[in-house]
Chain A
Amino acid sequence: MHHSESTAIHPRGTLDFIRRFFANIPLLGWLAGALAAVILEQAVGTSLAHALGLPRIPVLFGFLIFLKQPALIPGALGYVLVSNILPVCIVAKIGAPLFNLLSRSLFRMPIVVTAVVHLAILYAIFHIWTDVSAYRLIMLKLMLISILLTLSLNVINGYMGEFSCSHPGFMALGAYAASLFTVGLFVNDRLFGEALLVSDFAVIFFPLGLIFAGLVSALGALIIAIPSFKTRGDYLAIISLAFTFIVKSFLENLEFLGGPRGLSGQPDWSSLPMVFIIVVLGVWIINNFVTSTMGKALNAVRDDEIAAEAMTVNTRKTKIIAFMFSAFWAGVAGGLFAHVIRFVNPSTFGIQKLAEVLAMVYFGGLNSVYGSIVGAVSISLLGEALRPLEILKWIIIPLLLILVMIFRPRGLISFKEFNIEKLLKPRG
């Protein structure tokens, strides 16, 4: 969009002022502000809510109250302002010089250390925020998992430019494989009998189970990757759709996994630290993958396969690796998902799931790690926040998506590289 004289009109000026006012705050400052806000909420949230006439702390930034109990809107708004917005802004702004100082000294260390410090604060925020309400916890876990799922689909649909409909299938394979691993080995169960390994520390094997889940899906992905040598675009889209149907029907016929009744009794191992660490690891690895030469090869295959071949890109190898890599993470997400819900059945992984992931990818933005995070977070949040609207929710969310598609056909934040250094650098 070109800049013209008209951008200097008044509202734009206010926005600009706000942007400039907060420009000197590094990410560390924002994180510290959020940390302060959640600690404040934990300490005095309940009494603050009572003082404002609310029966309890608004769990979802007041959304559920806005839609359900209009009489309490002022109280909820006040609460959000006092306990969420103000502390974040004030702490971030006032502490800006200090955080910049800290940020600068952190920045001199290796980037990994800097990132880990930021992530640790982020985790602390999540931990305290979800401590207030179990509902926040379950929502946050599902949201983090959908980030991983969306990002892994973005590898194929965004970076490689195919229209793959196979993700529910990959997720199902991962969910069942991880459940088989944990339920079969560690839980006394009707289907599989006595636990083979009983240990109080069995949870440390969970990552192994997730890797197993990822590998099973990656193997499944070979079924699609090999036809993709010759078949592209639309034809591959229905090959992948057929794959989803085949996986679902296959699982329905596997009586030892419960068939259509599903498999339940997974141990409660998808705790917040587990989900957080796995998802962060996943995002990190996927980001490295797509910014590596491999990622450039994917883009080359997307933009022109023949030209890519001529430029010494091994297109077959690229496709196989991309599909298997993407399926691996979809499988891991499926494994986490199965252990959050603690139940899997084949019909969870059908058309509805497909529409959901596709919406997240295209809403957030193609070819972009930021986009996938934004897409997954906003669709999950909207889905929860608008739940009280019941049926109208399914008019508002699609409408919003159509508008985004019309005005930003490639999604909200597309084709933007996820630059950790730029994100974490001190500002001023």
Chain B
Amino acid sequence: MNLTFFLQNVVNALQWGSFYALIALGYSMVYSILMLFNFAHGDIFMVGTYIGFALTTAFIALSAAGIVVLPNWLILILTIILAMLFTSCLGMLVERIGYRPLRGGPRASAAITGLMIGIILQTTVLYIMGAQRVLFPSLIQTTTYNVAGVAVTNIKIMIVFVSIALMIALHQFVQHSKWGMAMRAMAFDYAVVPLMGISINTIAAMTFAIGSALAAAAGIMYGMAYPIIDPSMGILFGWKAFVAAILGGRGSIMGACIAGFLIGFIEIFVATIFPSTLRDLIAYSIIFVILVFRPHGLFGEPYSARLRL
């Protein structure tokens, strides 16, 4: 394997891993703070992408009709902000309807509720949008730069940088803000937090809102990188984010990020080195082995009674 080839794959894996990391981040927020399997997360990501699609299409139509003429970069920024906003509302709604009534119940029941909410979201989008796939409008013309034989596109660069920026922002928020402290407190001890005058409901809603907003951001970038979207695109991402969040370890939001990138790298490099038919077999075997040797994930706390279902 020569260096150019290796670097090309690193670039590929960085882009691919960014999606896993961003989606896993939202998953891990809910998982670490509320200890819930949010199986609807992949579908919230899907809805976020569709909201982005609708907004972009609307803005482009407005521009084309000459009502509000906006440059493409502004459309992109507006879309990202609005889609994050709408999707976080959806996240809060999901929390209110599907998870809050089950707080204190068995965690596995909440997992089933999540699965079912996911199916409802998929079906609703399928019902509204029809079965045909849609093309996410391209706002930025793809340009390929060739750096010493490694092909890099402007979209790849943007995706990696925006993802990392969002991760750092979230890290700052969780570590240094008042709300972040409340969240960490809740992750640390669920029972004591209300005694400190912090409303569990507020924190839970906020956790879902932030996680969903991140999913929406990931969705729009996904739409730019892989512009063909359909209602069941979230399923696989949801399950892989589940793997990444837990592989990262409970209580470690940044661990989920690293695990997301790790899964991206494993998938790309296994497909590169081994025959690609064996990709899933080897990739999941690696994850399997990691967990056998690190039974609490990469950065998780050791066995605790609270992890039980």
Interface with B: A109-117, A132-140, A201-209, A248-256, which one?
Answer: A248-256
In the complex, the chain A residue whose C-beta lies closest to that of B236 is A351
Q: Please, what's the 1-or-0 string for B33-51, where 1 marks a CB less than 8 Å from any CB in chain A?
A: 0000100000000000000
Cβ–Cβ contact A359 & B115, under 8 A: yes
Chain A residues with Cβ below 8 Å from B235 are 351
Cβ–Cβ contact B308 & A233, under 8 A: yes
Interface with A: B58-66, B192-200, B243-251, which one?
Answer: B243-251
Which of B246, B277, B280, B309 gathers the greatest number of chain A CB atoms within 10 Å?
B309
Contacts A405-B102, A406-B101 given; does A235 touch B120 at CB 8 Å: no
Q: Please, what's the 1-or-0 string for A218-241, where 1 marks a CB less than 8 Å from any CB in chain B?
A: 000000000100111111011101
CB distance from B88 to the nearest CB of A (A): 21
Could you list 23 examples of A-B contacts with CB < 8 Å? A163-B37, A230-B295, A231-B292, A232-B303, A232-B308, A235-B295, A238-B243, A241-B239, A242-B288, A245-B280, A248-B280, A249-B279, A304-B305, A355-B119, A362-B109, A362-B112, A392-B123, A395-B120, A398-B120, A401-B116, A405-B110, A409-B106, A409-B109
Q: Is B281 an interface residue (CB 8 A)?
A: yes
Q: Is A44 an interface residue (CB 8 A)?
A: no
In the complex, the chain A residue whose C-beta lies closest to that of B278 is A253
Cβ–Cβ contact B295 & A249, under 8 A: no
Q: A235-B300, A405-B109 are in contact. List 17 more A-B contacts (CB 8 A).
A: A227-B292, A230-B295, A234-B31, A238-B243, A238-B287, A242-B284, A249-B284, A250-B281, A398-B116, A398-B123, A402-B98, A402-B113, A402-B117, A405-B105, A405-B113, A406-B102, A410-B106
Chain B residues with Cβ below 8 Å from A395 are 120, 123-124
Cβ–Cβ contact B108 & A163, under 8 A: yes
Q: Please, what's the 1-or-0 string for B297-309, where 1 marks a CB less than 8 Å from any CB in chain A?
A: 1001001010111
Cβ–Cβ contact B309 & A161, under 8 A: yes
Q: Is B127 an interface residue (CB 8 A)?
A: yes
Cβ–Cβ contact B280 & A238, under 8 A: no
Contacts A227-B292, A249-B281, A401-B116 given; does A391 touch B123 at CB 8 Å: yes
> Residues on A close to B: CB < 8 A?
157, 161-163, 227, 230-235, 237-239, 241-243, 245-246, 248-250, 252-253, 302, 304, 351, 355, 358-359, 362-363, 366, 391-392, 394-395, 398-399, 401-402, 405-406, 409-411
Contacts A235-B295, A406-B102 given; does A246 touch B281 at CB 8 Å: yes
Cβ–Cβ contact B102 & A238, under 8 A: no
Cβ–Cβ contact B113 & A358, under 8 A: no
Determine chain A's interface SS by DSSP, over half rule: helix
In the complex, the chain A residue whose C-beta lies closest to that of B249 is A235
Complex CA distance for A398 and B39, rounded to whole angstroms: 13
Complex CA distance for A392 and B287, rounded to whole angstroms: 37
Complex CA distance for A243 and B291, rounded to whole angstroms: 12
Q: Give which listed residue, B31, B109, B279, B285, contacts A410 with CB less than 8 A.
A: B109
Complex CA distance for A405 and B292, rounded to whole angstroms: 32
Complex CA distance for A294 and B279, rounded to whole angstroms: 39
Q: Please, what's the 1-or-0 string for B102-144, where 1 marks a CB less than 8 Å from any CB in chain A?
A: 1001101111110111011011101100000000000000000
Chain A residues with Cβ below 8 Å from B280 are 245-246, 248-249
Chain A residues with Cβ below 8 Å from B37 are 163, 234, 237
Chain B residues with Cβ below 8 Å from A238 are 242-243, 246-247, 287, 291
CB distance from A238 to the nearest CB of B (A): 5
In the complex, the chain B residue whose C-beta lies closest to that of A255 is B277
In the complex, the chain B residue whose C-beta lies closest to that of A237 is B246
Complex CA distance for A231 and B291, rounded to whole angstroms: 8
Q: Is B184 an interface residue (CB 8 A)?
A: no
Chain B residues with Cβ below 8 Å from A351 are 235-236, 239
Chain B residues with Cβ below 8 Å from A235 are 246, 291, 295-297, 300
